[in-house]
Amino acid sequence: MLKRYLSSTSAKSLASALDEKVYQVTTYARPDDLCITRGQNAKLYDDINGREYIDFTAGIAVTALGHSNPEVADIMHKQALKLVHSSNLYYNKECLDLSSKLVEKTKKFGGQFDASKVFLCNSGTEANEAALKFAKKHGITINPKKQGIIAFQNSFHGRTMGALSVTSNPKYRTPFGDLIPHVTFLNLNDELTKFNDYISSNRDKLAGLIVEPVQGEGGIFPVPADKLIGLKKICSENEVAVIYDEIQCGLGRTGKLWAHAALPKEAHPDIFTSAKALGNGFPIAATIVNDKINNALQVGDHGTTYGGNPLGSAVSKYVVDVIADEKFLSQVEAKGEIFKTRLRELQKRFPEQIKDVRGRGLIIGAEFAEPPTEVIKRARELGLLVITAGKSTARFVPALTIEDSVIEEGLEIFAKAVEAVYK
């Protein structure tokens, strides 16, 4: 059936696909000469222009188990024939299985030691909306004025109004006027004493604090462990719920199941969020909470039509099973080392242009002295897709299953692109 669909539509659709870009809302600037038609693990293909690309983006850290993963496709197919959707009015088996798996694997792999309950939804921003509402509800239950949220400069938490309110970038915020009130942005580079002063003197007004353990969109900045340990201590002392946004850095990307699994349990969050890799491209997200947070919630406090649907949950069960595996996770670290070693070699050749190489596992940034726009463009012309993060960082977030040889090949292309721009 698929074959027939392609043969009957391919001539028209391939030729006219790019003409149809006039129907896209003006929210993205995309290259004019690229239209993806299919993918395979860490490669993408543009059959319209007859091009093959090495993909260091994985759909922005999403397709952790590779494009067109055959097991994922098989699960989708089988589950679609069984049950796609049944609403949250009734339990469904896949949702129950996924939720218990998330809690159990989180504990087993060193994540949130008191993980207890899961809310499933459909995107990262929604997972953070839930997290913010849960933290606020917890605060308001203690005292009606305890509603404020602390977020950090350089953060990115999503584009819906709540998540946008805790996202610092003015470019994303200012066009939209009033956002949710009582949000304060602090600077992660500040000393813990400064955080302590602010939080303890505002304890009656603060419900939660949200932070990415590795800032992703902001430019790949891992937050030092001592800072997270200190922040959690201060927040616990002041009954402020700590939310870790692991939407980009979680689920194996750092070489741990969760980025916070590298921290002692005193620094574990009250709430954490996951999305992106969770469905390997199928839209699904999760907000995981401890009992302290859940005890503040009542039936009707939050909801979603699609969240936790059997199709997404079936896919995620598989994704979590594959990633929650010591061998798989150690391979992520090893692959990350190839990236860092090669990028540092390149940095030695271009010390004026490449200022820093940083990151964990397969979330790596190479910070340039200026926005690496031309490098990214040249890399694309040479057959490599890379994205930026922050103002001047090239970001490497490939499939966690990327073959070592493809990493080497892609990094050779990247080096050629840097040479071409700065030779």
Ligand X SMILES: Cc1ncc(COP(=O)(O)O)c(C=O)c1O
CB 151 within 8 A of CB 210: yes
CA distance 289 to 243: 9
Nearer to ligand X, 92 or 248 (CB): 248
Write down the least CB distance from residue 274 to ligand X, Å.
10
Which is closer to ligand X, CB of 127 or CB of 375? 127
Candidates 118-126, 183-191, 227-235, 389-397: pick the segment binding ligand X (CB under 6 A): 118-126
Number of other CB atoms surrounding residue 97 within 10 Å: 15
Any idea what the Cα angle at residue 136 is, between residues 277 and 259, rounded to 5°? 30
C-beta neighbour count of 125 within 10 angstroms: 23
**What would the two tokens of residue 152 be?**
């950090």
Q: Are 330 and 323 in contact (CB under 8 A)?
A: no
Shortest separation between residue 67's beta carbon and ligand X, angstroms: 18
Under the binding rule (CB under 6 A), the answer on residue 359 touching ligand X is no
Nearer to ligand X, 147 or 248 (CB): 248
Q: Which is nearer to ligand X, 275 or 417 (CB)?
A: 275
Residue 248 binds to ligand X (criterion: CB under 6 A): yes
For tokens 């953060």, name the residue: 155
Based on the shown chain and the rule CB under 6 A, indicate whether residue 157 belongs to the binding site for ligand X: yes
Radius of gyration of the chain (CA): 22
β-pair type (206-211, 148-152): parallel
Q: Using alpha carbons, select from 98, 139, 169 the residue that is nearest to residue 243.
A: 139
Contacts with ligand X by CB under 6 A: the residue count is 15
Answer yes or no whether residue 123 interacts with ligand X by CB under 6 A.
yes
- The total of other beta-carbon atoms located within 10 Å of residue 178's CB is 7
Q: Which residues contact 91 (CB under 8 A, 6 or more apart)?
A: none
Cβ nearer to ligand X, comparing 248 with 347? 248
User: Which span sits near ligand X by CB under 6 A: 169-177, 211-219, 228-236, 368-376?
Assistant: 211-219
- Nearer Cβ to ligand X (203/367): 367
Which residue stretches of 17-112 are H helix? 58-61, 70-82, 93-108
CA–CA separation, 379 vs 383, rounded Å? 6
In whole angstroms, how close is the CB of 6 to ligand X at the nearest point? 29
Task: Report the residue number, 48 or 286, with the smaller CB distance to ligand X.
Answer: 286
Among 99, 125, 287, 309, binds ligand X (CB under 6 A): 125
Choices 28-36, 201-209, 242-250, 323-331; region in contact with ligand X by CB under 6 A: 242-250
Asked whether position 59 contacts ligand X by CB under 6 A, the answer is: no
Reading the block at residue 341, the tokens are: 């070693």
DSSP code for 264:
-
Contacts of 233 (CB under 8 A, 6+ apart): 266
From 166, 271, 275, 322, residue interacting with ligand X (rule: CB under 6 A): 275
Q: Which residue is nearest to ligand X (CB)?
A: 124
Q: Does 269 bind ligand X (CB under 6 A)?
A: no
Q: Does 212 bind ligand X (CB under 6 A)?
A: yes
Least distance (Å) between residue 56 CB and ligand X: 16
**Residue from the set 76, 120, 247, 418 that interacts with ligand X by CB under 6 A:** 247
- Which residues lie across from 243 on neighbouring strands? 210, 271
Q: How far is the CB of 154 from ligand X (least distance, A)?
A: 11
Q: Which residues bind ligand X (CB under 6 A)?
A: 60, 123-125, 128, 156-158, 212, 216-217, 245, 247-248, 275
